[in-house]
């Protein structure tokens, strides 16, 4: 159908505390604020309703629908926005998932993305984290339609996998959103690099929403939520503290970009391809 060529995107870099009700209340308040500034798509950070850590997931986990997604649904409807609900620990059938729920302006759940690549890393002396100790991986790709463009969704570690972004782009997504919480080791090294890489490789807009940095937390998030253009340019970026980042997504610019450097039509599909094995 006919798409509108420009829209405002907001990333909410929320300060996450140990009190779930506070996190939900603050998120709701800031989503409203963002909508008031003209945002049509609003993105919350990974693990926005609870502290991030294997010791917290079970305690804060909820069913979907549940308390947190109810708040998201109401906020989306009240503000008339597409709300990418960061992620929450989800409990389903005795398993835990790191899950992002997306709601439309009518408050309806559009899609639910369960993080497909679990964050299991060990950098000696720097960071060790094993999400798989408590979480199970999701098994599907997640996209949703807006009046502006199709959007692909990943969570944090998912951004390291170029194939996911390539498939989303191939399926027509022009914006990729990644709620994520990189840390003080991987953040300075790779956070921006990965966003710029995914954007320039696929000629899409890439947005990554982090929680605000809390030096007293057991897992210290890097912050610096940002939006990158299809040219690979960082067009909006937060500092480490709680804030909202705004960017105007210009789909005509994206189209021009693809015409000027037409890699999409120059691919050698006779030599290589990246495909999804399973239709999500």
As a whole number, the mean pLDDT across the chain is 97
Catalytic residue positions, numbered: 46, 115, 156
Question: What pLDDT sits at residue 2?
Answer: 64
Asked if residue 163 lies in contact with residue 171, where contact means CB atoms within 8 angstroms, the answer is no
Residue 63 CA to residue 101 CA, distance in Å, equals 12
pTM (predicted TM-score)? 0.97
Low-confidence ranges of the chain (pLDDT < 50): 280
pLDDT for 278:
77
* Domain annotation for the chain: domains and CATH numbers: 6-260 (3.60.110.10)
Axis crossing angle, helix 192-202 with helix 162-170, rounded to the nearest 10: 30
Bridge-based pairing state of the strands 39-43 and 82-84: parallel
Task: Provide, rounded to the nearest whole percent, the portion of the chain with pLDDT above 90.
Answer: 98
């Amino acid at each position: 159908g006919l798409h509108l060529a420009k829209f405002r995107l907001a990333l909410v870099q929320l300060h996450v505390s140990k009190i779930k009700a506070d996190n939900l209340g603050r998120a709701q308040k800031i989503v409203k604020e963002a909508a008031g500034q003209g945002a049509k798509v609003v993105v919350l950070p990974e693990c926005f309703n609870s502290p991030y850590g294997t010791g917290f997931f079970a305690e804060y986990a909820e069913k979907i629908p549940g308390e947190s997604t109810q708040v998201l649904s109401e906020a989306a409807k009240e503000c008339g926005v597409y709300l990418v609900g960061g992620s929450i620990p989800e409990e389903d059938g005795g398993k835990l998932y790191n899950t992002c729920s997306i709601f439309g302006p009518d408050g309806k759940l559009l899609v639910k993305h369960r993080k497909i690549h679990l964050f299991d890393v060990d950098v000696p002396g720097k960071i060790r984290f094993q999400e798989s100790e408590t979480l199970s991986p999701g098994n599907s790709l997640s996209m949703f339609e807006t009046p502006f463009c199709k959007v692909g969704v990943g969570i944090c570690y998912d951004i390291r996998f170029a194939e996911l972004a390539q498939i989303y782009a191939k399926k027509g997504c022009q914006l990729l959103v990644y709620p994520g919480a990189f840390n003080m080791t991987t953040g300075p090294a790779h956070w921006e690099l990965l966003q710029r890489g995914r954007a320039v490789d696929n000629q899409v807009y890439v947005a990554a929403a982090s929680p605000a940095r809390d030096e007293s937390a057991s897992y210290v998030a890097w912050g610096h939520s940002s939006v990158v253009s299809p040219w690979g340019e960082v067009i909006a970026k937060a500092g480490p503290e709680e804030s909202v980042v705004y960017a105007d997504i210009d789909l005509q610019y994206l189209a021009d970009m693809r015409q000027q450097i037409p890699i999409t039509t120059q691919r050698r599909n006779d030599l290589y391809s990246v495909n999804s094995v399973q239709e999500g």
